Amino acid sequence: MEATKLKKSKQRDAILSFLKTRKDHPTADTIYENVRKDIPNISLGTVYRNLALLTDIGEIKKLSFDGTSDRYDAETSPHCHFRCRNCGKVIDVEVDGVLEDILSHAKVPGQIDEQITVFIGTCEQCMDKY
């Protein structure tokens, strides 16, 4: 929360650039396993610390879902997510205009900084299986 001078770190850079290559909202652990290929002795704690820091400064977004691990997203423009109850997959959903709409209709006792919309259901692949 406090303004503190940022120093660059190769760990943070590696975490952010890895995250930018992915559109599937990986967990901290997946990020760890991947960044490790470049920086073998990076620790999971460092991954968590940097993800928290990047989230604080708005470079990335943290997505929390029911029960499971938090996921991270380098795409910060307004969009929604769809999560498959069956396979756990999380994908982006474009809903152009509707977010602004919902914001203008919502009577909220406070100031809104951010809005999260998640659709939950069954994805096409999983529906095909049954």
Residue 37 in contact with DNA, rule: CB under 7 A:
no
What CA–CA distance (Å, rounded) separates 61 from 71?
Answer: 8
Say what the alpha-carbon torsion angle 84, 90, 91, 97 is, to the nearest 10 degrees: 90
Residue 85 in contact with a second copy, rule: CB under 8 A:
yes
Q: Which residues contact 112 (CB under 8 A, 6 or more apart)?
A: 103, 106
Residue 23 in contact with a second copy, rule: CB under 8 A:
no
Q: Which of residues 101-130 bind a second copy (CB under 8 A)?
A: 101-103, 105-124, 126-127
Query: Which of 57, 67, 129, 130: binder of a second copy (CB under 8 A)?
Result: 67
Q: Which residues contact 30 (CB under 8 A, 6 or more apart)?
A: none
| Closer residue to DNA (CB): 48 or 82 | 48
What is the distance, to the nearest Å, from the Cα of residue 81 to the centroid of all Cα atoms in its chain?
10
Residue 7 in contact with DNA, rule: CB under 7 A:
yes
Please choose which of a second copy, DNA, none residue 110 contacts, taking the beta carbon within 5 to 8 angstroms, the exact cut-off set by kind.
Answer: a second copy
| Closer residue to a second copy (CB): 8 or 105 | 105
Q: Which residues contact 33 (CB under 8 A, 6 or more apart)?
A: none
Query: Which of 22, 34, 62, 78: binder of a second copy (CB under 8 A)?
Result: 62
